């Protein structure tokens, strides 16, 4: 069912809001709030109704609720002063008062039906999670299998970079023999996740496959076996394992697709993906190219919060790696773009995590940075990126125990992540401040094996070896620091960012290792 009002179309199944032909960017929580108000437009809904429906009954302040309502109003061209569409009734609640027309969707697709006009595939990665087949021969396991799919769909929808088909549409294929290419065409998605659930002898085995719909190519497949004890804990465990495995592969597949497109065909999202590919290499030249690409993306789509956050992160890297010709300019640009990203979307977990890290390194508003990092993982607890950056934020503010908890969580979620060396280096940093030097060396060596050109790992090793009196190894690691960063001095490292504020033992180790003052 689509709901039409003024020049807007609200589509709960596809979880999209349109103004004319254009998609309006909207945070998931704000979408849920609008959904509840529109569906219950015939009555006044109380604050408690909204909290139960949108926040699952969690404690929410009046200020937070007002902020979400105002954001919802802004998304549909309304305001708190006008209240043309969403009206606040003092001491009673809220009501959607706009004139709404309901436009029913076509009946659910049947794989045997003749072809129909297919929805366009979105620019960003799009995925449908099909009902998992119950291979147990036990009808009661249908509930578990369906619940598993619902959990995975919800977890994927928390990645704002993904377009995820709602359960209602995916489940029209339940119990039918399907052609994956036809599923992709009918639902307008590039990727399909399918699987099976089998229960036997107190264990459950779940198999999942991620398929590129247009070609039928298998991008990922895995099998998970767990004890059938706590059913909800089991669902959470397997959901995390599947989502943290397939989300990076979706992004990698999209980057590969963007890299094959002609320059004249690139969208803002394609440019953003190409910029990510350059940014992770972290050389002087690749960061310059990443900034060029992401600036073009922002020219095409000035409301692209993730692109603004990435641009800020690139300027930050230039400062941290001493690539900046004008460090003060780069610092100011990093902060400006961070603030721009937050003004565009302060409910996107990735944007929040990046903003928290930039602020922690360059500004030092500890309370705000912890709040942003915590909110990022609350909004998407299945993201390696949010947990990794939360760990670094807690390192910077001087809470190494909490930093380790976050970084361990990140690495458990994505054990083969191509950027895991950054989490391992963060672990080494925290372990040094806790005087756990042997463990810091283990983390630093792992980071170095994953990326021998990352100077942070050498810095951790130089400091940890020096603290243990292993002078030859400390000098060897210090030489690695200077080979990768010839201009490195302790005073320059301290001046680059606030990373050094709570790194007294790290700096003491630098001096013991003989790094230049």
Interatomic CA distance for residues 417 and 414, integer angstroms = 5
Q: Domain end: 182, 213, 241, which one?
A: 241
Which has more pLDDT, 418 or 41?
A: 41
The pLDDT tens digits for 8-20 are 888 888 788 887 6
Question: Which of the four pLDDT bands, split at 50, 70 and 90, describes residue 21?
Answer: low
Contact 476, 461 (CB under 8 A): no
Site of tokens 């959901």: 239
Q: What are 5's two structure tokens?
A: 């009002």
Closest-CA residue to 191 (of 267, 259, 150, 252): 252
Do 96 and 135 reside in the same domain of the chain? no
DSSP result, 317-335? HHHHTT--SSHHHHHHHHH
For residue 200, give the 3-state DSSP assignment. strand
Specify if 95 maps to a domain: yes
Sign (positive or negative) of CA dihedral 144, 145, 146, 147? positive
- Confidence (pLDDT) at 108: 42
| Greater model confidence, 101 or 331 | 331
Closest CA to 506 of 430, 401, 427, 447: 430
CA distance 517 to 504: 14
Based on the domain organization, do 134 and 223 belong to the same domain?
Answer: yes
Is there a domain that residue 442 lies in? yes
* Same domain (yes/no): 173, 83: no
- Tell me the per-residue pLDDT of 131-144, one tens digit each, with 9 for 90 and over: 888 887 677 677 77
Structure tokens at 193: 């996740």
Average pLDDT over residues 206-213: 89
**Residues contacting 62, CB < 8 A, separation 6+:** 47
Could you tell me if residue 186 is inside a domain? yes
For the chain, what is the mean pLDDT? 86
15 conformational bin, left if phi > 0, alpha if psi -120 to 50, beta if neither:
left
Please report the pLDDT score of residue 34 as a whole number. 92
Partner residues linked to 411 by β-bridges: none
Q: Would you state the pLDDT for residue 289?
A: 95
**Residue 225 maps to a domain:** yes
Over residues 454-470, the mean pLDDT reads: 95
107 C-beta neighbours (distance < 10 Å), count: 8
Please report the pLDDT score of residue 347 as a whole number.
Answer: 87
**pLDDT score for 267:** 83
* Residue 117 clears pLDDT 60, i.e. is over it: no
Task: Name the maximum alpha-carbon separation found in the chain.
Answer: 77
Q: What is the pTM of this model?
A: 0.70
| Res. 491: pLDDT tops 90 | yes
492: Cβ contacts below 8 Å, ≥ 6 apart: 322
> Each residue of 254-306: pLDDT tens digit?
888 777 777 766 788 889 988 988 898 888 899 999 999 999 999 988 989 99
Domain harbouring 149, CATH code: 3.40.50.10610
Token digits for 352? 């929040």
CATH number, domain at 514? 1.25.40.10
The CA-atom distances, in angstroms, between 314 and each of 113, 136, 285, 396, 426 are 50, 50, 11, 19, 19
In a domain, 44, yes or no: yes
- Last residue of some domain: 71, 103, 135? 103
**Predicted local confidence at residue 110, as pLDDT:** 45
Range of the domain at 515: 418-517
Instruction: Tell me if 506 is assigned to some domain.
Output: yes
pLDDT of residue 22: 65
The predicted model gives 207-232 an average pLDDT of 83
User: Where is the domain boundary, 226, 241, 256?
Assistant: 241
Residues 329-371: pLDDT tens digits? Answer: 999 999 999 999 999 988 889 999 999 999 999 999 999 999 9
Whether residues 173 and 214 fall in one domain: yes
Residue 432 lies in a domain: yes
- CA 328-333-335 angle, to 5 degrees, is 100
Task: Identify whether the C-beta of residue 70 lies closer than 8 Å to the C-beta of residue 64.
Answer: no
Same domain, 160 and 73: no
Percentage above 90 pLDDT, the chain:
39
pLDDT value for 416: 67
Q: Is residue 437 part of a domain?
A: yes
Average pLDDT value for residue range 460-488: 94
Please indicate, yes or no, whether residues 199 and 232 belong to a single structural domain of this protein.
yes
Bigger pLDDT: 162 vs 86: 86
| Structure confidence by residue, pLDDT tens digits, 399-444 | 999 999 999 988 887 776 778 899 999 999 999 999 999 999 999 9
Instruction: Please give the Cα distance from 428 to 444 (Å, whole number).
Output: 6
Q: Which of 69-83, 411-425, 457-471 has the highest mean pLDDT?
A: 457-471
Query: Do residue 435 and residue 515 come from a single domain?
Result: yes
Res 111: pLDDT:
40
Overall domain count for the chain: 3
CATH code for the domain in which residue 85 is found: 1.10.10.10
Q: Strand, helix or coil at 453?
A: coil
Length of the chain: 517
Do 71 and 171 share a domain, yes or no? no
**147 lies in the same domain as 223:** yes
pLDDT category at 489 given cuts 50, 70, 90 is very high
* Most confident by average pLDDT, 106-110, 276-280, 324-328, 442-446: 442-446
Return the H-helix or E-strand segment holding 290.
helix 284-300
Least confident of 25-29, 32-36, 212-216: 25-29
Give the tens place of pLDDT for each residue, 28-37.
Answer: 788 889 999 9
């Amino acid at each position: 069912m689509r709901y039409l009002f003024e020049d807007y179309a609200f589509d709960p199944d596809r979880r999209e809001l349109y103004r004319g032909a254009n998609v309006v960017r909207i945070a998931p929580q704000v979408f849920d709030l609008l959904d509840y108000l529109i569906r219950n437009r015939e009555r006044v809904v109380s604050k408690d109704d909204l909290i139960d429906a949108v926040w699952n009954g969690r404690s929410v302040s009046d200020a937070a609720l007002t902020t979400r309502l105002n954001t919802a109003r802004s998304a549909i061209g309304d305001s708190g002063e006008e209240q043309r569409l969403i009206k606040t009734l003092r001491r009673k609640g809220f009501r959607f008062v706009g004139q709404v027309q309901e436009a029913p969707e076509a009946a659910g697709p049947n794989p045997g039906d003749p072809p129909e006009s297919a929805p366009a595939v979105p620019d960003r990665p799009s995925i449908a999670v099909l009902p998992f087949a119950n291979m147990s021969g036990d009808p009661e396991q249908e509930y578990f299998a369906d619940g598993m799919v619902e959990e995975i769909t919800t977890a994927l929808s928390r990645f704002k970079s993904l377009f995820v088909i709602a359960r209602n549409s995916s489940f029209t294929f339940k119990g039918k023999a399907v052609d994956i290419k036809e599923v992709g065409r009918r639902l307008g998605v590039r990727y399909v996740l399918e699987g099976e659930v089998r229960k036997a002898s107190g264990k459950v085995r779940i198999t999942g496959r991620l398929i590129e719909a247009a070609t039928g190519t298998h991008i990922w497949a895995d099998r998970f076996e767990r004890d059938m004890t706590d059913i909800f804990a089991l669902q959470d465990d397997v959901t995390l394992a599947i989502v943290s495995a397939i989300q990076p592969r979706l992004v990698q597949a999209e980057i590969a697709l963007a890299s094959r497109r002609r320059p004249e065909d690139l969208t803002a999202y394609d440019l953003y993906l190409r910029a990510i590919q350059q940014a992770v290499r972290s050389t002087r030249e690749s960061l310059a190219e990443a900034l060029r690409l992401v600036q073009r993306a922002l020219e095409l789509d000035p409301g692209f919060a993730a692109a603004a956050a990435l641009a800020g992160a690139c300027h930050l890297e230039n400062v941290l790696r001493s690539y900046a010709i004008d460090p003060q300019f780069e610092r100011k640009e990093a902060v400006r773009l961070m603030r721009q990203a937050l003004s565009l979307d302060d409910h996107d977990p990735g944007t929040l995590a990046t903003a928290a890290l930039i602020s922690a390194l360059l500004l030092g508003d500890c309370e705000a940075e912890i709040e942003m990092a915590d909110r990022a993982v609350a909004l998407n607890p299945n993201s390696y990126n949010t947990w990794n950056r939360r760990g670094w934020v807690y390192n910077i503010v001087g809470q190494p125990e909490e930093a380790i908890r976050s970084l361990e969580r990140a690495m458990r979620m994505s054990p083969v992540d191509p950027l895991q060396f950054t989490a391992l280096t963060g672990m080494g940093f925290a372990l040094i401040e806790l005087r756990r030097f042997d463990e810091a060396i283990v983390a630093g060596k792992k980071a170095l094996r994953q990326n021998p050109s990352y100077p942070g790992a050498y810095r951790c090793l130089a400091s940890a070896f020096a603290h243990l009196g292993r002078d030859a190894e400390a000098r060897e690691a210090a030489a690695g620091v200077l080979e990768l960063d010839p201009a490195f001095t302790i005073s320059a490292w301290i001046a680059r960012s606030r990373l050094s504020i709570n790194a007294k033992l790290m700096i003491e180790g630098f001096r013991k290792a003989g790094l230049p003052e």
